[in-house]
């Protein structure tokens, strides 16, 4: 019996081909089928096959003879010369290696995710090639391997078209708000081109499209229920999920603009009502709210000017009323201050000019009166007394509507009368002392003498030969009994 034919050196380094009689199915699976784990093993097998080919190729090129097994049928290629058979065998192995390399490259490109049927057909072709190889029909096996490789080459060349189709389908589905369908297409596109930015962006948008639509529906419901704040929040939440979903941002802006317009109109209405009622604080607050809704609005600027003018007029009127009240109460200093404040607001205010002049004059008059009333003793001097008499002449006749002024004038008149009414003052001496009273004159020597003196302060001087002079100061008061004054020299020199 001839020994069994050896397996080609290169084939042993990949998953072993089915070495079985022609037409016999491989153990455990249907004809032409490949195991589910064949993809990863093919990649490893391809690399091993390449390494084995490099190591064992010189041995293949050496002719070797194999003895046929006793009783075995002659091989299909036995009629061909051995060198020709070896060449066909090497050609088949090389064709298989090219297929495996192409298959490994496509698997690296995740072809199982976007071309599983095509990969299965190519695998079926290689299965047929494996069976032919096992039957030593090397030429036909090489043709099968080459056909399978050609299928993979065509499949690889179709990637750009497949990518474009997946992207187009994804964007179409997304435009139609079919989020799951769009996600499926963009996932396929990313399988074809993992670093494709548009596909990644499309997938991210597709994955949130249902959530975006839910928030848009919530926004429309809130808008229909007259809940603009909730509607804006829902629309903005949709825009945050997908910033490229322009309908969400547009809806949020539309509702927010309508709400702002409503709030602006409401604030302006409150401002004008408050202005008409002279509630200036409320008017100013409402105008601030209106300006916040529409900065720079001309109607707000006009209303602010009206408010400023109304406040100005109201403040002038307040100052006028208060000044007149103070003038009626004869609080002329405070009244003058209010008139002056009014002139600061409006220098052309006539009431303030005339009122300020009168209040100032009255305030100065009261100050002059108060000076004498606070210090009546000043009237004991001739000059202040003369000034007080002139002051009394200026204010007469007394104004009937100014009782405080009249009372002060009456008091000063009484003080002036008292200051000009002489009082009898008794002076005593020893009959030997010469007595002189300043502002009155010399009185000579006497034991007792009566003088009629106006209230005031006086100084009497006594002189006597051989004695030290004496000085006696005394005061004549209008409201007290006149003093008794003793003037005599007692200290000899």
Coil/strand/helix, residue 425: strand
Closest residue by Cα to residue 110 from 203, 14, 189, 36: 189
CA-based max dimension of the chain: 197
pLDDT at 79: 54
Residues whose CB is less than 8 angstroms from the CB of residue 120 and which lie 6 or more positions away in sequence, other chains included: 34
Angle of helix 350-374 relative to helix 382-395, nearest 10 degrees? 140
pLDDT at 261: 87
In the prediction, which pLDDT does 41 show? 37
Question: Rounded to a whole number, what is the distance in angstroms from the first to the last CA of the chain?
Answer: 188
pLDDT value at residue 383:
87
Count, residues in the chain:
493
- What DSSP line would sit under 336-371, residue for residue? HHHHHHHHHH-TT-HHHHHHHHHHHHHHHHHHHHHH
Are 63 and 118 in contact, with CB atoms under 8 Å apart? no
Mean pLDDT in order along the chain per 10 residues (493 residues): 35 37 38 40 40 38 36 45 86 91 85 84 90 92 91 86 90 92 89 88 93 95 93 94 92 91 89 88 90 87 91 90 89 90 89 89 88 84 86 81 87 85 92 93 93 90 95 88 93 91
Q: Which helix (H) or strand (E) holds 493?
A: none
Identify the pLDDT of residue 443: 92
Confidence (pLDDT) at 61: 38
SS percent in the chain: helix, strand, coil, step 5: 65, 10, 25
Number of alpha carbons in the 13 Å side-chain half-sphere of residue 352: 19
Tell me what pLDDT residue 234 has: 95
CATH superfamily of domain region 423-486: Carboxypeptidase-like, regulatory domain (2.60.40.1120)
Rounded CA gap, 94 and 39, in Å? 19
**pTM for this model (two decimals):** 0.45
Q: What is the pLDDT of residue 80?
A: 59
pLDDT at 25: 40
**How does DSSP assign 319-330, residue by residue?**
HHHHHHHHHHTT
């Amino acid at each position: 019996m001839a020994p069994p034919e050896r397996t080609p050196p290169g084939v042993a380094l990949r998953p072993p081909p089915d070495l079985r009689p022609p037409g016999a199915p491989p153990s455990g699976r249907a004809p032409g089928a490949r195991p589910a784990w064949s993809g990863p093993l093919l990649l490893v097998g391809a690399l091993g096959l390449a390494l084995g080919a490099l190591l064992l190729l010189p041995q293949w090129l050496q002719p070797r003879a194999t003895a046929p097994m006793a009783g075995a049928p002659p091989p299909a290629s036995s009629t061909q010369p051995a060198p020709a058979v070896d060449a066909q065998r090497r050609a088949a192995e090389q064709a298989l290696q090219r297929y495996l390399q192409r298959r490994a490259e496509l698997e690296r490109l995740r072809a199982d995710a976007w071309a599983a049927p095509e990969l299965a057909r190519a695998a079926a072709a290689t299965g047929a090639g494996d069976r032919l190889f096992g039957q030593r029909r090397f030429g036909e096996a090489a043709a099968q391997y080459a056909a399978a490789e050609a299928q993979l080459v065509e499949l690889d060349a179709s990637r750009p078209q497949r990518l474009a189709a997946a992207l187009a389908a994804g964007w179409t589905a997304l435009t139609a708000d079919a989020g799951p369908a769009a996600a499926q297409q963009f996932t396929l596109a990313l399988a074809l081109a993992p670093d494709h930015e548009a596909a990644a962006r499309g997938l991210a948008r597709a994955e949130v499209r249902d959530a975006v639509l839910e928030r848009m529906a919530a926004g429309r419901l809130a808008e229909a229920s007259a809940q603009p704040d909730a509607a804006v929040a829902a629309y903005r939440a949709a825009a945050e999920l997908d910033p490229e979903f322009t309908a969400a941002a547009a809806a949020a802006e539309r509702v927010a603009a309508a709400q702002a317009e409503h709030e602006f109109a409401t604030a302006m209405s409150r401002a004008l009502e408050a202005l008409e009622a002279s509630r200036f604080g409320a008017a100013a607050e409402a105008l601030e709210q209106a300006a916040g809704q529409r900065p720079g609005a001309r109607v707000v600027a006009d209303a602010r000017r009206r408010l400023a003018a109304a406040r100005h007029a109201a403040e002038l009127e307040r100052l006028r009323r208060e000044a007149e009240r103070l003038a009626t109460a004869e609080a002329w200093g405070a009244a003058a201050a209010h008139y002056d404040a009014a002139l600061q607001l409006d220098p052309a205010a006539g009431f303030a000019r005339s009122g300020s002049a009168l209040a100032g004059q009255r305030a100065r008059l009261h100050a002059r009166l108060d000076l004498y009333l606070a210090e009546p003793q000043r009237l004991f001097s001739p000059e202040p007394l003369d000034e007080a008499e002139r002051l009394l002449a200026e204010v007469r006749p007394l104004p009937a509507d100014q009782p405080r002024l009249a009372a002060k004038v009456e008091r000063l008149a009484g003080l002036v009368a008292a200051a000009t009414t002489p009082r009898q003052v008794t002076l005593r001496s020893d009959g030997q002392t010469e007595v002189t009273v300043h502002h009155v004159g010399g009185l000579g020597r006497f034991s007792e003498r009566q003088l009629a003196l106006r209230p005031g302060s006086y100084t009497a001087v006594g002189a006597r030969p051989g004695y030290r002079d004496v000085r006696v100061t005394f005061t004549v008061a209008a409201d007290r009994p006149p003093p008794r004054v003793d003037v005599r020299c007692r200290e000899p020199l």
